[in-house]
Each structure stands twice: as C-alpha cells, then as structure tokens.
C-alpha cells in the first residue's frame, strides 16, 4: 500500500470521527488539519473538496458499522437470533463506539437537508441497505417458520430501526447508555414473546 493511499485513508478515518462528533458544518478544514497533522495542501492533494471528503468519510463510518454487523451475524442462523444480534451491535455503538458521536447514519440524516443533496443521498443509501437487510432476515424467518406468519415485515423493520436510532439519540443527548439499554431490553422481550415462533 502506497504512502499516498495510507495518508488518504488516515485522513478519511480521522475526518469521519470529526464529522460524526461535530457534524459536517461544524467541522472546519482547520479542525481536519489539526486532527490529521497535515497542511491544507496535503489534504487537497487527496480530495477535491471538503464535500468529497465528507462523502468518503461517511461511507467509511457506515462501513465500520456494517462490518461489525456482519461479524455479529456470521454465526447466527435463526432469524430472531440475527435480529437480536443486530440490536446488540447497535447497543455497542454507544457502549463501545467505533466512531465517537453516535450513529453516523442518524447524524447525517438529521444534518443533511435539501441543501446537501449528495450527503442526504448517501444517508438514504445507507438506510436503504439497513432496511433491506432487516426485511431479508424477517422475510426469510417467516418462510422458515422461525418467525410467526402474522408479523408485518415492514412495520417490524421500521419499528426496530426507529426505536434503536431514537434510543441512540437519547443516549447521546444525555450521554447515558440507559436509554439504548431500555429499548434493547424491550425489543429483546418483544422479539422473544411476540415474534419468535415456538
């Protein structure tokens, strides 16, 4: 791996932390310079604009989450177990953060308004893939009779994502993991008693 690529990756990794903590607007190039130890020219050798860097940093942050999810799902076969593992992963985003500042998708979704269409599209894509994964697990679980047939796939998908993301927001706001723990606890109980086919 070349020196340049190493530097480039370092910039992305450090910036991703910054953007997730302070937001895209809230992070200046000076912040990025300080965090990376590079001068402006050194950064602009690798990225044509701050926005391009932001897009790549978001992709990187989301990919970190995805990797942790993949690892957690690897040895889980049962659909409900897979959902529980996914919930657990999101809980670790607070308890043992990959990227400080909460969930990158949530943060970006809230910050990216109509004036940041590229960033918003990135957040939508990330959310799309998250939703698709959940729907796949649930649908397959129904087919395999691991999940009760009367479960509404889309409603459950949305409930899981919404309640988890909302809980992450609460725990970030109060800097207290109890909110994500409570929601995790509720969802776990719900999945076991109302969703799992026994």
Partner DNA sequence: ACCTGCGGGACCGCCCGTTCGT
Partner DNA sequence: ACGAACGGGCGGTCCCGCAGGT
- For a copy of itself, the closer CB: 25 or 192: 25
Options 65-73, 75-83, 89-97, 105-113: segment touching a copy of itself (CB under 8 A): 105-113
Q: Which residues are CB-neighbours of 32 under 8 A, at least 6 positions away? A: 11, 14, 15, 18, 43, 53
Q: Which residues are CB-neighbours of 9 under 8 A, at least 6 positions away? A: none
Q: Nearest approach, Cβ of 116 to DNA (angstroms)?
A: 12
Q: Nearest approach, Cβ of 82 to a copy of itself (angstroms)?
A: 20
- Quickly count: other Cβ atoms within 10 Å of residue 85's Cβ: 18
Binding characters for DNA, 10-29, by CB under 7 A (x = yes): -----------------xxx
- Residue 105 contacts residue 168 (beta carbons within 8 Å): no
CA diameter of the chain: 62
173 binds, among DNA, a copy of itself, none (CB under 5 to 8 A by kind): a copy of itself
Binding characters for a copy of itself, 113-132, by CB under 8 A (x = yes): xxx----x--xx--x-----
**Which ranges of the chain does DSSP label H, i.e. alpha helix?**
3-22, 29-36, 40-44, 50-73, 79-95, 104-111, 117-143, 153-174, 178-190
| Interacting residue ranges for a copy of itself, rule: CB under 8 A | 21-23, 25-26, 101-102, 106-107, 109-111, 113-115, 120, 123-124, 127, 154-155, 158-159, 161-167, 169-170, 172-174, 179, 182-183, 185-186
């Amino acid at each position: 791996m070349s020196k340049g690529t190493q530097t480039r990756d370092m910039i992305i990794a450090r910036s991703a932390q910054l953007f997730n903590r302070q937001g895209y607007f809230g992070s200046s190039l000076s912040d990025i310079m300080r965090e990376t130890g590079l001068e402006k020219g050194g950064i602009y050798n690798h990225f044509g604009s701050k926005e391009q860097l932001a897009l790549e940093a978001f992709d990187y942050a989301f990919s970190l989450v995805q990797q942790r999810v993949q690892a957690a799902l690897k040895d889980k076969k049962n659909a409900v177990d897979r959902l529980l593992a996914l919930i657990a992963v999101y809980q670790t985003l607070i308890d043992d953060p990959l990227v400080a500042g909460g969930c990158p998708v949530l943060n970006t979704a809230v910050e990216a308004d109509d004036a940041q269409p590229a960033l918003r599209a990135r957040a939508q894509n990330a959310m799309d893939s998250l939703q698709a994964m959940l729907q796949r697990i649930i649908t397959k679980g129904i087919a395999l009779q691991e999940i009760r047939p009367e479960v509404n796939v889309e409603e459950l998908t949305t409930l899981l994502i919404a309640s988890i993301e909302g809980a992450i927001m609460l725990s970030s706001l109060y800097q207290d993991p109890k909110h994500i723990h409570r929601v995790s606890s509720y969802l776990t109980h719900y999945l076991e008693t109302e969703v799992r086919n026994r």
